[in-house]
């Protein structure tokens, strides 16, 4: 008996020692985890393979929603994914960084996964906040039925264009966080499931502080961190998506440079952007362009990525794929920049899928690879 008590005391002391080491090392609290709410959203709104639907919502309502959404998923796979994924796999080098940054790309995890399927760390940044996943617990059955119809409508826009817009996301006004709905749909399309969802703030040095609700339940849900893995496979490696809500123009980044510190701390990265109304080429976005110029080794975009003159100055080389007759109608491109963009497309090569972001002035799909000259 005394031997058994000795073993118990030894185990207790070991546990206390581990706890003391964690505290003295300054280990941060992990923050509140809303994976159960994320799984409810994943299962109910986007018809994922795991998670529980709200008990007050009849199964027949969810089943009818999922039958329609299954058709939309199948059409999107056939129209875009089945063509784009193999093409992109031939284009993206096998040794690109597994850390991906996607400015102006909120809610578009689907294109990020299609482009960088082996990446393990994704960051999307846009004006839109991630949104409060806890809302799934506050909806009545009648509200859920309305929300499911809104979900099909907004996902229809995403599937039709392979991108969403700030205007679309603002117009819908769904009770559910549309950024998260679009993200969960991407998980379904690629066979993943959520395993953790936390919210965070960025500290001045670029590190993250995960958040807990205050005594009244208030929580800043602007920035979220989603961990996900292959569905129904507990041994599968976990990938991380962080969405950051931020205005990326110079004025805002000078006032609050935390996003720049966060990006700089990532080291070498791959990047992508599309449908970004030519913001990255603007003088008003020079700070973002500067940090990307320093840390990106390989990037893919439509014509709203690096302008050729900015790419050359940063030591990049560029090549165009697809057909390009001039800039899209969204945003402003100076005539000299437009001519340089056209020169990247030496040969007309129609993409096997419709578009990667915007089409060009003539309605053709195109994309631009930007890489460090040494790569």
Q: Are 262 and 334 in contact (CB under 8 A)?
A: no
Residue at a domain's end among 225, 245, 265: 245
261 in a structural domain = no
Residue at a domain's end among 202, 227, 245: 245
The pLDDT tens digits for 242-278 are 999 999 999 999 999 999 999 999 999 999 999 999 9
Distance CA 314, CA 308 (A): 10
- Statement to judge: residues 232 and 320 lie in one domain: no
The pLDDT tens digits for 48-94 are 999 999 999 999 999 999 999 999 999 999 999 999 999 999 999 99
260 in a structural domain = no
- Statement to judge: residues 327 and 211 lie in one domain: no
Q: Are 370 and 318 in contact (CB under 8 A)?
A: yes
255 in a structural domain = no
Q: Which residues are within 8 A (CB) of 213 and not within 5 positions of it... i.e. 6 or more apart?
A: 32, 219
Residue 173 has a pLDDT of: 60
Distance CA 146, CA 153 (A): 11
- Statement to judge: residues 42 and 186 lie in one domain: yes
- Statement to judge: residues 186 and 297 lie in one domain: no
221 in a structural domain = yes
- Statement to judge: residues 223 and 352 lie in one domain: no
Distance CA 139, CA 141 (A): 7
Distance CA 244, CA 171 (A): 21
- Statement to judge: residues 315 and 228 lie in one domain: no
- Statement to judge: residues 222 and 298 lie in one domain: no
The structural domain count of the chain equals 2
Kindly report the pTM of this predicted structure: 0.89
Q: Give residue 279's domain range.
A: 274-375
- Statement to judge: residues 216 and 333 lie in one domain: no
Task: Give CA torsion, residues 345, 351, 356, 358, to 10 deg.
Answer: 60
Output the tens digit of pLDDT for each of the chain's 375 residues. Answer: 334 334 333 333 333 333 333 333 334 458 999 999 999 999 999 999 999 999 999 999 999 999 999 999 999 999 999 999 999 999 999 999 999 999 999 889 999 999 999 999 999 999 999 999 999 999 999 999 999 999 998 888 778 765 544 454 444 567 889 899 999 999 999 999 999 999 999 999 999 999 999 999 999 999 999 999 999 999 999 999 999 999 999 999 999 999 999 999 999 999 999 999 999 999 999 999 999 999 999 999 999 999 999 999 999 999 999 999 999 889 999 999 999 999 999 888 899 998 999 999 999 999 999 999 975
- Statement to judge: residues 217 and 324 lie in one domain: no
85 in a structural domain = yes
Residue 253 has a pLDDT of: 98
90 in a structural domain = yes
- Statement to judge: residues 234 and 375 lie in one domain: no
- Statement to judge: residues 240 and 294 lie in one domain: no
254 in a structural domain = no
- Statement to judge: residues 312 and 195 lie in one domain: no
301 in a structural domain = yes
């Amino acid at each position: 008996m005394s031997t058994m008590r000795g073993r118990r005391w030894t185990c207790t002391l070991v546990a206390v020692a581990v706890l003391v080491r964690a505290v003295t090392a300054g280990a941060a609290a992990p923050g509140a985890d809303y994976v159960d709410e994320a799984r409810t959203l994943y299962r109910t709104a986007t018809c994922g393979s795991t998670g529980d639907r709200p008990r007050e919502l009849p199964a027949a309502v969810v089943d009818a929603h999922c039958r329609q959404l299954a058709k939309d998923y199948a059409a999107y796979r056939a129209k875009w994914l089945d063509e784009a994924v193999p093409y992109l796999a031939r284009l993206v080098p096998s040794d690109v960084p597994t850390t991906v940054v996607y400015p102006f790309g909120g809610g578009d995890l689907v294109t990020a996964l299609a482009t960088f399927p082996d990446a393990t760390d994704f960051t999307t940044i846009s004006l839109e906040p991630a949104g409060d996943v806890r809302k799934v617990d506050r909806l009545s059955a009648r509200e859920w039925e309305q929300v499911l119809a809104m979900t099909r409508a907004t996902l229809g826009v995403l599937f039709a264009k392979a991108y969403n817009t700030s205007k679309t996301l603002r117009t819908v006004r769904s009770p559910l966080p549309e950024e998260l709905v679009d993200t969960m749909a991407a998980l379904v399309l690629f066979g993943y499931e959520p395993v953790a969802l936390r919210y965070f703030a960025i500290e001045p040095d670029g590190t993250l502080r995960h958040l807990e609700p205050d005594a009244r339940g208030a929580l800043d849900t602007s920035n979220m961190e989603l961990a996900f893995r292959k569905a129904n496979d507990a041994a599968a490696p976990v990938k991380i998506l962080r969405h950051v809500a931020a205005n990326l123009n110079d004025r805002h980044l000078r006032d609050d440079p935390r996003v720049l510190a966060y990006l700089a701390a990532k080291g070498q990265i791959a990047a992508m952007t599309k449908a970004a109304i030519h913001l990255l080429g603007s003088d008003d976005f020079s700070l973002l362009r500067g940090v990307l110029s320093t840390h990106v080794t390989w990037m893919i975009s439509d014509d709203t990525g690096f302008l050729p003159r900015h790419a050359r100055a940063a030591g990049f080389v560029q090549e165009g794929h697809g057909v390009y007759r001039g800039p899209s109608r969204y945003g402003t491109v100076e005539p000299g920049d437009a001519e340089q963009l056209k020169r990247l497309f030496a040969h007309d090569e129609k993409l096997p899928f419709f578009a990667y972001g915007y089409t060009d002035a003539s309605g053709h799909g195109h994309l631009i690879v930007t890489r460090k000259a040494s790569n």
